[in-house]
Structure 1
């Protein structure tokens, strides 16, 4: 009797794991392109607040930010004081790279 109950629980857990994998949407791959952050250009180059589109693009490009910081041509834009202000305004923590 104990063996049947163990087998049933193992089957239930296996079914739950399969359903979780099937029903969980796959994460979309992000295309890293600094041009995607162009809606943030005005906010980064001045003290104007970022737009909703800027914040959305910044959050979308979050996985790419460390790569941008490593690029000598982009580093000054991504890690500037105004870029940090934009990141804070968008409630996006600055990544530790």
Structure 2
């Protein structure tokens, strides 16, 4: 079941990436696919990798935008995603 959820998450991220890649004020390329290294930590409550934390910090300016996207909202705003962000030292912004 977990592998299926990870696969679905990866597909959703890919579809969003294909449809919309934008740049924020801080010149960060908003690309939810960049958060794929965090998928396992979010879905299985494992400790996030250093790559996950790096990508999460890089994509932090984009999180509010991702949370507004119905395809990503459930995953991005999940308690596990917030726990991963906290563990990485990059708490979610107040959107």
The alignment's TM-score, normalised by the length of structure 1, stands at 0.70
1:62 positional shift: 0.7
CA root-mean-square deviation: 1.3
Please state whether the residue corresponding to 1:35 is helix, strand or coil.
helix
Structure ranking higher in strand proportion: 2
SS of equivalent residue, structure 1 residue 77: helix
Helix, strand or coil for the counterpart of 1:61? helix
Question: 1:25-40 counterparts in 2 under 5 A?
Answer: 29-40=27-38
The structure 1 segments of at least 4 consecutive aligned residues displaced by more than 3 Å after TM superposition are: none
- State the match for 1:43 in structure 2: 41
Work out which of the two has the higher radius of gyration on C-alpha atoms and give 1 or 2.
Answer: 1
Contiguous gaps of at least 5 residues in structure 2: 1-24
* Gaps in structure 1 of 5+ consecutive residues: 1-26
Distance of 1:45 and 1:56 partners within structure 2: 18
For residues 30-76 of structure 1, what are the alpha-carbon distances to aligned partners after superposition, in whole Å with 9 as ceiling and x for unaligned? 11011000000000010100000000000000110000000011011
Question: What is residue 78 of structure 1 aligned with on the other side?
Answer: 76
How far, CA to CA, are the matches of 2:85 and 2:26 in structure 1? 22
Give the secondary-structure state (helix, strand or coil) at the position aligned to 1:67: helix
Question: For the residues of structure 1 that align with 2:77 and 2:34, how far apart are their CA atoms?
Answer: 16
* SS of the residue 2:84 aligns to: helix
Aligned length: 71
What is aligned with 1:16?
A: none
